[in-house]
Amino acid sequence: MKNMNSSRFKTVLSWALKLSLVGIVVLAILMAYLDAKVREKFEGKRWALPAKVFARPLELYPGLELKPKYLVQELEQIGYQRVPNVVTPGQYSFDGSEMDVFRRYVTLYDGEEASARVHMRFAGGAINGLWLDGEPVALARLEPLLIGGIYPKHNEDRQLIKLEEAPSLLLKTLVAVEDRDYYDHFGISLKGIARAMLVNVQRGGLVQGGSTLTQQLVKNFFLTRERTLVRKATEALMAILVELHYSKDDILETYLNEVYLGQSGRRAIHGFGLASQFYFGKHISRLSAPEIATLVGMVKGPSVYNPKRRPENAQARRNVVLNVMHDQGLISDYELAVWEKRELDVVQYSQYQRIEYPAFLDLVRRQLRSDYADSDLTSEGLRIYTSLDPIIQRSAEQAMSKRLEQLEAGYRMPKDSLQGAMVIAGTESGEVEAVVGDRNPRYFGFNRALDANRSIGSLAKPAVYLTALRLPEYNLITPLDDSPIKVSGSNSSVWEPKNYDKQSHGIVPLYQAMSRSLNQATARLGLQVGLKNVVQTFYDLGAKNDIPAYPSIVLGAFEMNPFDVAQMYQTIAASGFQTPLKAIRGVTTQDGQLLSRYGYDVKQSIKTEPIYLLQKIMQRVVKEGTARYLNSQFDASLNLAGKTGTSDSQRDSWFAGFSGDQLAVVWVGRDDNESMPLTGSSGALRVWAQTFKDLPLKPLYPLPTENIVEQWVDVEQNAISSEACDGAVQLPFIQGRLPLQTLDCVQEQTPDTGKSWWSRVFN
Amino acid sequence: MKSLLLVVFIALLAACSTTPYQSADQIQASHSEVLAQLPNWYHQNLGLQLNGGNEYPEQQALASLLQQADLEFMRSNFQACQILLERAQRISTREPSVYVRLSYLFWLENNTRSAEQMARRALALVVRDEEASAEVKRLLLAIQANQY
């Protein structure tokens, strides 16, 4: 019996030894694996840093039309604080006519601007005096607004800091609250675990964790948030490995940058560096003791103790932390008493509490795609400098949502049934200044400005008239026939366009046919000049899509998105000089090294003379045609030009309009492509007008060339007239393309000099 | 034998190259030739007379940027020069002297396509000023003939 027991014991012992051996081997392999994982993360790049995207820096100069309210708005948005007298960078003062801005140090893609006091005097809605540190100057730039980031998949954002930048009070408080034995343990704290167990037993549940800072870091870096024993064991092993390899300071610095401290929309705020900017609008080194207590308090529960969303919870938690600080001798009795009563003082609006511009960011991302991999954009901390103008963007967003609401109410359409998109660009520079892709401008989703391909309707007409004006047979008063027209197509189909008013208007001069947007006359003209020529004009203007040479294209029965339409109209607005629309000026590395620049480029794709005539007609569209609503809204001296567009069955409402410096294309419609009781005039045009109503615009002066002559003509008779003749109007013509007939009235008015009418006209 | 092969190889490369090889001295020479060709107004009055002189307040800003751009141009800092000219363009979108400068800049960088287009842009803007128009036309012809 004894022998049997002894033999069984030996067998068990032998198996136990073997199993232990296997266990040790497995543990060793596991440790090696975890070690490799730890080292890979710590020795490689620890974080993916999202690219930061900036708006244009506001360029200030005497003569700049800028309402002070817009400047104040921008300063507030970039986190400047209004004070009676400026003393430090990041402050401004304004007394109604004079403004002082203590500019912060700024890095831009083309250099840097030192911190300086910028003083401005305003008069008549413009800057009329500018000083930099007391000296009069011609120019000064402000720092650009941070408008968003290109985030990795979890939308993590952070601003990296060095341990030395963090106030020592923050480090001491963090250690006191989260891990008192931090400098004594080796990754896990047996004392901490025992204390947590005791509390949990006393409270009858899991209320306190015994995790050290190292364990918390490991959990955030490598593991999930699930509460299982396996996960806890792995966490403990990895924490020991981290402590074996790295110094306490290195681990603490990593923790400071890694910890999750709340959410701002889709963006996850990580690290104390970004959190201090986000919640208090200041650099971490300038945090006060109560602010430190608030942030350290958040570590326990970033959502529950979020000072912006749950200020009461956050204040109570801050006071708990202040008491810990007091117990540790970090603050005095008096300080505790004063600070416990203090408000949280979080900033509601800071550079880091930013408004994002999803539609514009989408464009930036697409334009960068040819030069940068997605991983570069989401991980290298690149700085992308764009042309977005926050003042114009805000105006466009507000105009879109306000006008769509008014249109829905006015035309008894269901609420939120309309959608809209807008693209605004500089006419000459081709720089995109604003993009609206949805009536809710904060929506990250379908970007109608770039992706809504819709029938462009009458926005196609300028290309038809331009095709005619490029040919020697046509001028502004060439008579066009606006009688009904039928075109037979393949499969016995018949295309029979009608005018909007269902009337025919007989013979009309070319310029009126366009300014009144007559469909029948345009259809006839398109067929006369040749569909292939019209298609070529679309391409010369910058159209990129495939446009089939069907008769209906002359009335815009093909689809384009607002961005591509804006490209076509940019060529018209810039007198035939096409500049690719671009949203980016330059890209630098995190430390300011220029990586790529996107400079001005131009190509003359249409001769200046026919474009000059087209611009003149488009000014008439605003003066007396389908866009005359603008007359009641804008100073006539701006000479605005534009074209309304309404697609078949009123499914799309368009307006493309421009001044001397700004071009904007607006689309209004329904996502389900249903009809609306709206035309280009009653829909998109109103949004355009609302957008620019309060913004400075430069007048449009079409550029005549030496080949352009101004001539008095009789439009009805398609003949040369003179100022003194009845019904004469003065219109521009390309040399050699004047009407062939001259009225008798001209001969009566002009003494016979024996010269030909041609010589008389030009002398 | 190896040296002979190397010489043949270099000669082949040179023959295949689209841009003729230029030594540093030759590049310097071509820069100075271009600079010598710049019309007087370019140096003296910043070309502002093309657009009617300093009658608008924003002309101070424009003049300041053009002055800085000219300085960078003379130092052969072409990128900095171009950035300054683009800033000037944003302030005064139809200032012909900006486009003339851009044209010279691209020409000097051997980008005749852009040089010609910039000159055309300038020409469209100066058409009512005969003297300036003649200057820009001369520039355009020189670019087209590729004559420094």
- Six-digit token pair at B3? 């040296």
CB contact under 8 A, B58 and A600: no
- What kind and span of H or E run contains A122? strand A116-123
- Indicate whether B5 pLDDT > 70: no
pLDDT mean by block of 10 residues, chain A; 763 residues: 73 86 86 81 77 96 95 90 92 95 95 96 94 96 91 81 92 92 88 76 65 88 69 84 91 93 86 90 89 95 92 94 94 95 80 75 92 88 96 96 96 95 97 96 90 96 98 96 91 89 95 95 97 97 93 95 98 97 96 94 96 96 94 96 92 97 97 94 97 95 92 93 90 94 75 42 36
Question: DSSP code of A20?
Answer: H
Q: Which residues of chain A have a CB within 8 Å of the CB of B125?
A: 703
10 Å Cβ neighbour count for A686?
26
Q: Residue written as tokens 């025992």?
A: A194
pLDDT tens-digit map of A451-463: 999 999 999 999 9
Q: Give the whole-angstrom CA distance, residue A248 versus residue A171.
A: 12
CB pairs under 8 A, 24+ apart, for A732-736?
A: A732/A476, A732/A612, A732/A613, A732/A616, A732/A704, A732/A708, A733/A475, A733/A476, A733/A708, A733/A709, A734/A469, A734/A475, A734/A609, A734/A610, A734/A613, A734/A707, A734/A708, A735/A707, A735/A708, A735/A709, A736/A472
Q: Give the whole-angstrom CA distance, residue A186 versus residue A213.
A: 11
What is the DSSP pairing of strand A728-734 with strand A708-714?
antiparallel
- Indicate whether B32 pLDDT > 90: no
Q: Give the whole-angstrom CA distance, residue A602 versus residue A451.
A: 25
Asked if A510 contacts A465 with a C-beta cutoff of 8 angstroms, the reply is: yes
CB contact under 8 A, B64 and A138: yes
CB contact under 8 A, A426 and B61: no
CB contact under 8 A, A138 and B61: yes
User: Which residues 78-137 in chain B show a CB within 8 A of chain A?
Assistant: 79-80, 82-83, 86-87, 89-91, 93-94, 102, 114, 117-118, 120-121, 124-125, 127-128, 133
pLDDT tens-digit map of A509-558: 999 999 999 999 999 999 999 999 999 999 999 999 899 999 999 999 99
- Indicate whether B28 pLDDT > 80: no
Asked if A463 contacts A456 with a C-beta cutoff of 8 angstroms, the reply is: no
- Six-digit token pair at A623? 């003066």
Q: How confident is the model at residue B12 (pLDDT cuts 50, 70, 90)?
A: very low
Q: Give the whole-angstrom CA distance, residue A287 versus residue A295.
A: 10
Question: DSSP code of A459?
Answer: G
Q: Give the whole-angstrom CA distance, residue A70 versus residue A76.
A: 10
Predicted TM-score (pTM) of the model is 0.82
What is the phi/psi pair of residue A743, to 5°? -70, 150
pLDDT at B70: 82
What is the DSSP pairing of strand A91-94 with strand A81-82?
parallel
Question: What is each CA distance from A141 to A56, A88, A115, in whole angstroms?
Answer: 10, 18, 11
B32–chain A Cβ distance below 8 A for any pair: no
Q: Which residues contact A95 (CB under 8 A, 6 or more apart)?
A: none
Q: Which residues contact A604 (CB under 8 A, 6 or more apart)?
A: A576, A577, A578, B117, B120, B121, B124
pLDDT at A397: 96
Distance (Å) from the C-alpha of residue A94 to the closest C-alpha of chain B?
A: 23
Distance (Å) from the C-alpha of residue A697 to the closest C-alpha of chain B?
A: 12
pLDDT at B30: 55
Q: Give the whole-angstrom CA distance, residue A705 versus residue A151.
A: 50
CB contact under 8 A, B102 and A600: yes
- Name the residue facing B57 among A62, A139, A604 (closest C-beta): A62
pLDDT at A220: 82
User: What is the distance in angstroms between the CA of the first residue and the CA of the last residue of chain A?
Assistant: 139
Q: Which residues of chain A have a CB within 8 Å of the CB of B120?
A: 577, 604
**Residue A136: beta bridge partners?**
A131
Q: Give the whole-angstrom CA distance, residue A69 versus residue A8.
A: 92
What ipTM was assigned to the predicted interfaces of this complex? Answer: 0.81
How far does CA A640 lie from the centroid of its chain? 26
